[in-house]
Amino acid sequence: MKIAIPKEIKNHEYRVALTPSVVRELVARGHRVAVQASAGEGAGFPDTEYEAAGAHIEQDLDALWDNAELIVKVKEPQPEEVKRLKPSHTLFTYLHLAAEESLTRGLMDSEATCIAYETITDDEGGLPLLAPMSRVAGRMAVQAGAHSLEKAQGGAGILIPGVPGVAPAKVTVIGGGVVGENAARMALGLGADVTVLDKSLERLEVLDHRYQGRLNTVYSTADALETAARESDIVVGAVLVPGAQAPKLITRQMLGDMRPGSVLVDVAIDQGGCFETSRATTHADPTYVVDGVVHYCVANMPGAVARTSTQALTNATLPFVLALADKGWQGALAEDPHFLKGLNVHAGHITHPAVAQAFGLDAVDPKSLMA
């Protein structure tokens, strides 16, 4: 299989889709891997390490894309990358299509086969290729929130742990999944007063048991969300309905009840965001203020800690990349129903029901493509 690794071009995105160690595994199985010159530099992997692992370093972008059968990336393709896709390509990357109709239409028009990391499932009901980056983003969410609480960032001027004689900040996390648990863990570590809201009692039970009374768990209702908005210094948005647009849980009206200088960190922004006033921001300009409330809505948070994130991501993607390379997309997806859930677009059709629903389109059953 001819595999291409482009350099990521999203704003301040420094991750790379394969490490030299993964390249070595692929080359040992007889695959040809072309890595765009300096693709790994931001994550601390120089071209020389890829060459030593057996990769071809490609300077010519046209040749990189035109000669590839399988393209492995980190972030959703940017418009200039979408233009390069063709029907013979298999693209394997994060896509988050429900939040981006123009990207969805672009991928359909390309007729390429597009497999999303974030909708691949596992036997435990988890999302094994989203989880490593959710761990990173959850941990970063509290760092971002703490920074945003500083006066110079528009925040209320609150130090998360307080000091003796001054109460700590109140941090509420909406959605107690992977992002939510990691955010809660960091907030607890900093000494915050932490509450987690979720609609899954099962999930709240797991957290209650795991953290032994050190955090508050609250079933997520309209009342609970209003209380969270009114009383929190930081609210982290960490909900997910896989493949679908995030529900809007904090409305513009509720901002009026929030304290001036409190902070919303919308990690769910890559699925459209779970606060009504959220819009995607970049690491270059991560925050903005609405009605006195600071919003942090960066859609590629893990890109800022590219070394850690690249290693964590590729640990999880490696077996899937090997399966695609060894068996082709049809072979790999046909024998793994969890991997098949990753198929979002093929030959101009949407193949994931939640993505199709987001745009009022019909989904083609991916099983019908496996014959």
Site residues (CB under 6 A) for ligand NAI? 118, 127, 130-131, 133-134, 137, 174-180, 197-200, 203, 220, 238-241, 247, 267-271, 298-302
Residue 40 CB neighbour total at 10 angstroms: 27
CB distance 278 to 269 below 8 Å: yes
5 and 35 in contact (C-beta within 8 Å)?
Answer: yes
Residue 195 or residue 271: which is nearer to Mg ion going by CB?
A: 271
Is 203 marked as a binding-site residue?
yes
Q: Does the footprint of ligand PYR cover residue 262 (CB under 6 A)?
A: no
What are the phi and psi torsion angles at 73 (to 5°)? -130, -175
Q: Are 169 and 159 in contact (CB under 8 A)?
A: yes
Closest separation between CB of residue 237 and ligand NAI, Å? 8
94 touches ligand PYR (CB under 6 A):
yes
Structure tokens at 1: 């299989």
- Least Å from the CB of residue 299 to ligand NAI: 5
Tell me if 270 contacts Mg ion by CB under 5 A.
Answer: yes
Question: Exactly one of 233, 266, 270, 352 is catalytic; which is it?
Answer: 270
Q: Residue 299, interface with Mg ion (CB under 5 A)?
A: yes
Catalytic status, residue 270? yes
Is 307 labelled a binding residue?
no
Q: Name the nearest CA neighbour of 234 among 136, 133, 143, 134.
A: 143
344 binds, among Mg ion, ligand NAI, ligand PYR, none (CB under 5 to 8 A by kind): none
Question: Least separation, in Å, of the C-beta of 37 and ligand PYR?
Answer: 23
Q: Decide which of Mg ion, ligand PYR, ligand NAI, none touches 178; Cβ closer than 5 to 8 Å per partner kind.
A: ligand NAI
Rounded to whole angstroms, how far apart are CA atoms 145 and 139? 10
- Point out the catalytic residue in the list 96, 295, 346, 349: 96
Nearest to 298 by CA among 310, 309, 308, 286: 286
Q: Is 299 one of the annotated binding-site residues?
A: yes
Decide if 167 contacts 158 (C-beta within 8 A): no
What tokens appear for 275 in the block? 């606060």
d(CA 274, CA 251): 9
**CB-CB contact of 129 with 93 (8 Å):** no
Q: Is 209 a catalytic residue?
A: no
Residues numbered 282 to 301 that lie near ligand PYR (CB under 6 A) are: 300
Residues of each annotated binding site for substrate: 15, 75
Interacting residues toward ligand PYR by CB under 6 A: 94, 130, 133, 270, 300, 302
